[in-house]
Amino acid sequence: MEDLNEIHWHDSEIESVIETPAKDELVYNVQYPEDWSQNVFTAMAITFSGYHSHVVEEMPFEGNPTILAVSVVEEEGGYTTVKLETNAGNRFVTAKSVHIGPRHVSI
């Protein structure tokens, strides 16, 4: 999965997750650390394209979960499964690609 390491995942706060089945997309709307040293965050969208599945294994949590780390779990048949470790537990996303860009919500 290209661009996985180009995204600064650590400390990205998850505000919402939107699935768009017609586009095979899963969008994570996050507060993204634009300038970590100055504590500056920007609203961004991390979009998984060629989206296959999404599993959330988190405990009840107050507030928005924050991503701590991301790692590749499996690569098979053109799909990559990534594990997103958060302060509330783990999430697993299986998709073909990922990219970060301006926040958007579309149908």
The pLDDT profile of the chain, 107 residues, written as one tens digit per residue, is 777 888 989 999 999 999 999 999 999 999 999 887 898 999 999 999 999 999 999 998 899 999 999 999 999 999 999 999 999 999 999 999 999 999 876 55
Please indicate, yes or no, if residue 72 is contained in any of the structural domains: yes
* Count of domains for the chain: 1
CA 104 – CA 73 distance, rounded (Å): 28
Q: Which residue has the tokens 């995204």?
A: 7
Please indicate, yes or no, if residue 62 is contained in any of the structural domains: yes
Please indicate, yes or no, if residue 50 is contained in any of the structural domains: yes
H or E, element range at 89: strand 89-95
Please indicate, yes or no, if residue 35 is contained in any of the structural domains: yes
pLDDT at 103: 87
CB 32 within 8 A of CB 8: yes
pLDDT at 53: 97
Host domain of residue 30: 4-102
Please indicate, yes or no, if residue 48 is contained in any of the structural domains: yes
DSSP string of 13-80? Answer: EEEEEEEEGGGTEEEEEEEEEEEGGGTEEEEEEEEEES--EEEEEE---SS--BEEEEEEEEEETTEE
CA 20 – CA 17 distance, rounded (Å): 10
pLDDT at 92: 98
Question: Which amino acid would we find at residue 98?
Answer: V
